[in-house]
Chains A and B, each alone.
Chain A
Amino acid sequence: MSNLPADEAVLIEQAQRGDLAAFDQLVLMHQQQVFAVALRMLGDRDEAQDVAQDVFVRAYRAVSTFRREARLSTWLVSITMNLCRNRRRWWARRRRVIVASIDEGLDTEEGMLEQQVADPAPTPAQVAERREQHQQIMDALQQLDEAHRSVIILRDIEGCSYEEIAQMSQCQIGTVKSRLSRARLQLRALLDGKL
């Protein structure tokens, strides 16, 4: 069973034959989601960029094994979660302090422009309030453990279904439900009175 869009399926087929240009098209289609997940999992823009590149490098080398039983985005996010987990472990071994910097892009002129493009009519006060809110959410997310953080990101931020989350996390749907319930209550407790 294939859940892939027709053009995506064609691009995958071409990439599996070694067509790098077709793979570049796939990168452009999915880099936003991969980078967003990496950024929210790691909380560091440079690390997220590095991990996102590694995700696509790994995907290109293993694209011949992609069976098209799942969506390509599910497969890519699954790789992203694994690499983010490895990266955080690497940090933990080196006692690196993880500083949330989800909105680093907004500090730059380019970031401000992107923010304005995404929301066509925000007032400066709204922009500042939203930035503060996002930063609080990111800070709270980084305080959750990895399993709870990933399930919140995938379900409540990326909008993935329970089945997709179960596929990405390689666990049962019931586990996803219970984990999500606990994660939401924990996050709400962390953000209580801040939103």
Chain B
Amino acid sequence: MNCAEYKRWFSPHVDKLLKPEEHAQLADHLKSCARCQADSASLQQMLQALRTMERPAAPELLPGIHAKLTREPWWQRLLQGFAAPWPISLPLHGLALATAGVLMVVLVSLPGYFRMRPEPELGIVDRMVSGRSRPSPISSFAKPSRLKEQQIGMEERPRSRKMVHEGKPIRPPAESIFDKKETQRGAYRRDEAFDGGETREKAPPQRALAAASATPMNATALVNLPNTPAADHRTVERNGSVSAERDAVVASSHNNLSQMEEGTLATRTSGDTVAQATSGPVMPLGGSGGTKSMAKALVEPVVYLRILDAAAARTAVTDWVEARHGSIRAISEHQLVITLPPDHIAPFLRQFSSDSSMASEDFNRAQSAPWVTIQLELVSPQ
């Protein structure tokens, strides 16, 4: 052991806590080490001085203790302060006035603060699923839960969630890809539509064109329709609150779809290969000069259906949907969005598609949804 280690024994040595052999070892070291001997003596001298320090006389504590024990609670003292004459109570009164002012400002500004808060997106989903009150394309972009997938018997992931654009995976339409402003704007537009539709843009119905295309047609006939110039931008007028409600939903979905147009979502594909890889079976389409495939993308409960060609088909589709109290809106020259109850989906596909198996197989997935929104993309024949 060295001197530093022996120094650690000084304190227990003073308190007689060392073992006999340790005590003897330290004593031997102190005999041989003058420095440690001096340090030990200095320590003992200091401790002796500490022990001989007189205890200071305590002042009279009892009066102060009694005063503190009988002291009134703070709230009583506060009340007394308020009740005191004016010069004494001035600080308290000033403080009270300032506090009241701050509280008033907070209370006045709180409602405005809550009005500015965006509507929770999850709430929209909840309302749509539980209330079945109105379809909401925005909420439909949300990823279906695992429980939902089990309920609707999906054995594999929806193909639409593996959309491929030219061999590269594309993110499916999801709520997260839309910023909150757009979502909120969609909600406001829905509210706007509920005010009776006065602010909506209206367009002539063009019934003559609708009557000309009213005959049932299959998908082949549809894609072979000539490109009708009259079938341009057209917003279908609807009557009654139900139409206004559906219009509101479609209006909100247009925001999302317009983003797709702007390239936020790359869903425009063409060609057999891409269509097949994207979303499903290639439609058995016929006819000369017509487009060759119908690509569809399915995201529960929203269904995107892309129909190639047939600008005139929009008229037929419009009449068909309106006859079934669905809603339809043109969001661009080549894009339509329709909203239908799910039980009309299969007839819709039977009407406009020659592949009835696709309707029963794929669109049955949307049967659990209160509404199904379909995006139609019309591509002119080459």
Interface of A toward B, CB cutoff 8 Å = 20, 24, 27-28, 31-36, 39, 45, 49-50, 52-54, 56-57, 60, 102-103, 105, 111, 114-115, 118-119, 133-134, 137, 152, 156-157, 159, 162, 177, 180-181, 184-185, 187-188, 191-192, 195
Contacts and interface: CB of A to CB of B under 8 A. Distances in A.
29 contacts: A24-B62, A27-B62, A31-B58, A31-B61, A33-B55, A35-B58, A50-B64, A52-B61, A53-B68, A54-B68, A56-B65, A105-B56, A105-B57, A111-B57, A114-B57, A118-B54, A119-B54, A133-B49, A137-B50, A157-B51, A177-B11, A177-B12, A181-B8, A181-B12, A184-B14, A184-B43, A184-B46, A185-B10, A185-B43
Contacts of B107: none
B69 interface: yes
A105 B15 CA distance: 32
B144 to A, nearest CB: 56
Contacts of A188: 39, 42-43, 46
* Chain B binding surface, main DSSP class: helix
Contacts of A119: 54
B64 A156 contact: no
B58 A52 contact: yes
A184 B11 contact: yes
Contacts of B64: 49-50, 53
Interface of B: 7-8, 10-12, 14-15, 17, 39, 42-43, 45-47, 49-51, 53-59, 61-62, 64-66, 68-69
A31 B65 CA distance: 11
A137 B56 CA distance: 14
Contacts of A39: 56
Contacts of B49: 133, 137, 195
Nearest to B40: A188
Given A53-B64, A177-B11, A181-B10, A134 B53 contact: yes
A33 B57 CA distance: 9
Contact of A137 (B12, B53, B55, B68): B53
Given A36-B58, A187-B46, A57 B17 contact: no
Nearest to B11: A181
Given A57-B68, A180-B11, A32 B57 contact: yes
A43 to B, nearest CB: 11
* Chain A binding surface, main DSSP class: helix
A128 B217 CA distance: 121
Nearest to A136: B49
Nearest to A180: B11
Contacts of B65: 27, 53, 56-57, 60
Q: Which of A36, A60, A103, A188 has the most chain B CB within a 10 Å cutoff?
A: A188
B45 A32 contact: no
Contacts of A56: 61, 65
B22 to A, nearest CB: 14
A53 B43 CA distance: 35
Nearest to A184: B11
A122 B39 CA distance: 29
Contacts of B54: 115, 118-119
A36 B55 contact: yes
Contacts of A118: 54
Contacts of B7: 185
A20 B64 CA distance: 14
A60 B53 contact: no
Given A152-B50, A177-B11, A32 B68 contact: no
A195 B45 CA distance: 8
B58 A32 contact: yes
Nearest to B9: A181
Contacts of A52: 58, 61
B46 A191 contact: yes
B10 A184 contact: yes
A184 B13 CA distance: 12
B64 to A, nearest CB: 4
A130 to B, nearest CB: 8
Contacts of A181: 8, 10-12
B42 A102 contact: no
B260 to A, nearest CB: 60
A156 B58 contact: no
Contacts of B47: 156, 184
Q: Which of A60, A184, A187 has the most chain B CB within a 10 Å cutoff?
A: A184
A159 B51 contact: yes
Contacts of B11: 177, 180-181, 184-185
Nearest to B51: A156
A24 B54 CA distance: 24
A49 to B, nearest CB: 5
Nearest to B17: A177
Contacts of B43: 184-185, 188
Contacts of B58: 31-32, 34-36, 49, 52
Nearest to A115: B54
Nearest to A38: B58
Nearest to A117: B57
A39 B265 CA distance: 76
Contacts of B17: 177
Contacts of B53: 134, 137, 157
Contacts of B46: 184, 187-188, 191, 195
